[in-house]
Amino acid sequence: MDKKPFSSKKPLKSPKGGKPQKRGMKNVAFIAIVVLFALVIIAAYGQPKRQTEISTSQAVTDANAGRYSKIEKKGNELLITEDGKKTPTLKTYIDPNATLKEEGFNTSKFEVKNDPDSSSGSLWGSLLISLLPVIIIGGLLYFMLKSAQGQGNQAMSFGKSRARLYGNEKDKVMFNQVAGQAEAKQDLEEVVEFLKFPKKFAGVGARIPKGVLLVGPPGTGKTMLARAVAGEANVPFFSISGSEFVEMFVGVGASRVRDLFAKAKKNAPCIIFIDEIDAVGRRRGSGMGGGHDEREQTLNQILVEMDGFEQGQNVIVLAATNRADVLDPALLRPGRFDRRVGIGLPDRPDRLAILKIHFEKKPLGKSVDLDALAAKTAGSSGADLSNIANEAAIIAARNNHAEITQHDVTEAFERVAIGPERKNKIMTEADKVTTAYHEAGHALVGHVLPDSDPVHKVTIIPRGGTGGVTWFLPPEDKVYTSLIEFKDVLARALGGRIAEEVILGKDRITTGGGNDLQKAAEIARDMIVNQGMGTKLRDQVFHVEEGMMMERMVSERTYSEDTAKVIDQEVESLITEAGERARAVIKGNLDKLEVLKDRLLEKETVDADEVADIFQSAVLPKTAALY
Ligand code: ADP
Ligand code: MG
Ligand code: ZN
């Protein structure tokens, strides 16, 4: 509590700080508008109704007889409110310079308003009323201008960049908080040096790079690394996301870019970080991608600004993307984003390091084996792992554990990997049996085929959107997948549907296999189109350019109609072959299928060891073998 008055008391500087202020202003504006309307309406309709004119002597008589409650003097008019009425109903005329007393009124009998004795009130009162709208409008304008000068006001500053500045100690990230990524860090270390000791490089005539592109899959720590560069170099960090540039109004993005770079130059040395640069930086003019005027202008402005940096300006632009292939080549030219830092999914030691960082501040039970978790999370990104750590803590808290147990960690891993268990989702007995056969089918085919991954767990508890899950763990990080591995993956993907078909009959198959088939079709098409793994189309790949056109995803083919037909045939024959192999395995091991099905119905979840035990003597039929 002691040393952070700045960061805690200045919500406006925090990334989302613009909001409360904006809402406050909206309220004031709204009230002001309502008041204005009310005034206009009162002015138009609120005029007191016409009063009946009576003679002055009549008025004096009645007044002194106590029949009036109030008399108001207005110039040479007297507006008279009768007893029991709320507004003046009568009026009479007198000499404007005479007081009521002089006219013969007994002023103790009624309330007097604006008698010349206290006359100035009248003038000021009416002046105030007529000036009220002006005052309100003035106040409103003042308020708007004031908050427009403040930061983050979007209503008044479309063209201003929404770049956020992270300067607080609290936000600072250092390299040691980023686990693994040794190569990326090494590359970025150089950038830190450029920012820290620009003179050293200028002295030997070296040109300091202006742009560095961080390329890697989502969640691998690109944003984190960019911030760590700023943290290590101890310079301000301006961050904006490419998608924020893409607004409705043409020209807004470009002016934001201008503003962002202007701000950065004022704060040099500093870092500009453009996250998701592919949102603005897509290849221009490919005929794909509708409505790109705005995007192109924004992109052009980025290019112009980067070219406009003079030597020694010492602003380095970092940008992140997971699709470097779609970027406009102009962005990648020398002098722009000419450096590229690749950031990959973490390997096993790195995963362990990331897990350690994220479990560091959590009470971890002795039984928890992080190394085993690292081993079975091949393919997970740093963000996934941090997510697992967080889920584990949540699960531990919900189970009232003082420290996180191995069981909590396992549950967290499964939840992140496939989604939470839906234990209360009701399944009929018949559906349960079908699911048990279906999952046992996947498991059996996967277990028997030699190049499929090992079974990790089979369950008929619905999870995420599925009825049950058969779970295969990829063995230690694999870089390539071979054709026979693909074929085994296809066969086991069809294993569920084929088990239903063999057991229930070919017309009783269910929708439980829909997802599997879709995935299988995707894999098969990828094998043919992108990997050159067909038989007729061996070693040929077919580039498909994808883009958005009129809000629709469209693909542009670079091959002929005839080739398209052959591709379809190739895909079909892969799927057919996979189905036949799965059928052979299931028919050859029906007794094993029944055992696992029964075990599933009994226990709902069966783990790797037990599955291996059940399938111990399962055989690989000749017709299912590839070699
Ligand atoms: P990206 O920008 O590549 O999508 P982020 O930098 O936003 O990924 O990372 C998301 C989160 O994942 C981070 O906030 C961090 O908690 C975690 N993370 C990712 N990579 C690492 C890493 N190498 N070390 C520690 N944490 C990481
Ligand atoms: Mg990011
Ligand atoms: Zn399935």
**Which pLDDT tens digit goes with each residue over 522-540?**
999 999 998 999 888 888 8
**Model confidence at 381: pLDDT above 70:** yes
Mean pLDDT, residues 32-58 taken together = 68
d(CA 125, CA 319): 62
pLDDT of 434-464, one tens digit each? 999 999 999 999 999 999 888 988 999 887 6
With CA atoms as reference, report the closest residue to 78 among 129, 48, 49, 115. 115
- At residue 329, the pLDDT reads 85
**Rounded distance from Cα 497 to ligand 3 centre (Å):** 7
Mean pLDDT, residues 85-100 taken together = 79
Active-site residue (options: 232, 294, 421, 439): 439
**Rounded distance from Cα 440 to ligand 3 centre (Å):** 9
d(CA 363, CA 396): 10
**Model confidence at 118: pLDDT above 50:** no
User: In a mutational test of the pocket of ligand 1, which residue from 386, 387, 388, 390 has the highest number of ligand atoms less than 8 Å from its CB?
Assistant: 386
d(CA 209, CA 211): 6
**Model confidence at 120: pLDDT above 70:** no
Q: Which atom of ligand 1 is nearest to the CA of 179?
A: 24
User: In a mutational test of the pocket of ligand 1, which residue from 222, 224, 274, 352 has the highest number of ligand atoms less than 8 Å from its CB?
Assistant: 224
- At residue 356, the pLDDT reads 94
- Pocket flag, ligand 1, residue 140 (CB < 6 Å): no
d(CA 108, CA 92): 19
- Pocket flag, ligand 1, residue 387 (CB < 6 Å): no
DSSP character string of 195-225 = HH-HHHHHHTTPPPPSEEEEE--TTSSHHHH
**Rounded distance from Cα 467 to ligand 3 centre (Å):** 8
- At residue 384, the pLDDT reads 92
What is the biggest distance separating any 2 CA atoms in the chain, rounded to whole angstroms? 128
Mean pLDDT, residues 2-29 taken together = 41
**Model confidence at 20: pLDDT above 50:** no
Is 439 one of the catalytic residues? Answer: yes
- At residue 152, the pLDDT reads 44
- Pocket flag, ligand 1, residue 301 (CB < 6 Å): no
- Of all residues in the chain, what percent carry a pLDDT higher than 70? 81
Mean pLDDT, residues 386-405 taken together = 94
**Model confidence at 10: pLDDT above 50:** no
Judged by its nearest atom, the ligand closest to the C-alpha of residue 439 is: 3
**Model confidence at 248: pLDDT above 80:** no
pLDDT of 209-233, one tens digit each? 889 999 999 999 999 999 999 999 9
d(CA 100, CA 60): 9
What six digits make up the tokens of 534?
């067909």
Neighbours of ion ligand 3 (CB under 5 A): 496, 516
- At residue 19, the pLDDT reads 38
Per-chain mean pLDDT for the chain: 81
Most trustworthy range by pLDDT among 61-65, 111-115, 265-269, 358-362: 358-362
**Rounded distance from Cα 258 to ligand 1 centre (Å):** 29
**Model confidence at 594: pLDDT above 90:** yes
Place 149 in a pLDDT band, splitting at 50, 70 and 90.
low
- Pocket flag, ligand 1, residue 520 (CB < 6 Å): no
**Rounded distance from Cα 346 to ligand 1 centre (Å):** 11
Give a three-class secondary structure readout of 515-537: HHHHHHHHHHHHHHHCCCCCCCC
d(CA 605, CA 372): 20
CA 124 to centroid of chain Cα atoms: 56
Place 239 in a pLDDT band, splitting at 50, 70 and 90.
confident
pLDDT of 167-182, one tens digit each? 555 678 899 999 988 9
- At residue 169, the pLDDT reads 55
Mean pLDDT, residues 573-586 taken together = 96
**Model confidence at 17: pLDDT above 60:** no
d(CA 353, CA 180): 7
**Rounded distance from Cα 626 to ligand 3 centre (Å):** 23
> Which pairing describes strands 90-93 and 77-82: parallel, antiparallel, or unpaired?
antiparallel
User: Is 515:478 a contact under the CB 8 Å cutoff?
Assistant: no
- At residue 153, the pLDDT reads 43
**Model confidence at 619: pLDDT above 60:** yes
User: Is 456:470 a contact under the CB 8 Å cutoff?
Assistant: no
Q: Which atom of ligand 1 is nearest to the CA of 178?
A: 24
- Pocket flag, ligand 1, residue 396 (CB < 6 Å): no
Torsion sign, CA atoms 277, 280, 281, 282 = positive
> Which pairing describes strands 111-113 and 90-93: parallel, antiparallel, or unpaired?
unpaired
- Pocket flag, ligand 1, residue 468 (CB < 6 Å): no
Pick from 51-65, 103-117, 297-311: least confident: 103-117
- Pocket flag, ligand 1, residue 224 (CB < 6 Å): yes
- Pocket flag, ligand 1, residue 219 (CB < 6 Å): yes
Q: Which atom of ligand 1 is nearest to the CA of 226?
A: 6
Pick from 76-85, 94-103, 110-119, 154-163: least confident: 154-163
Rounded to 5 degrees, φ, ψ at 349 are: -60, -40
Q: Which atom of ligand 1 is nearest to the CA of 217?
A: 3
d(CA 299, CA 257): 9
Pick from 107-121, 307-321, 527-541, 608-622: least confident: 107-121
d(CA 500, CA 219): 38
Pick from 18-22, 55-59, 614-618: least confident: 18-22
- At residue 219, the pLDDT reads 92
Burial class from Cβ neighbours inside 10 Å (0-12, 13-18, 19+) for residue 201 reads middle
**Model confidence at 269: pLDDT above 50:** yes
Place 579 in a pLDDT band, splitting at 50, 70 and 90.
very high
With CA atoms as reference, report the closest residue to 531 among 580, 567, 581. 567
- Pocket flag, ligand 1, residue 181 (CB < 6 Å): yes
- Pocket flag, ligand 1, residue 357 (CB < 6 Å): yes
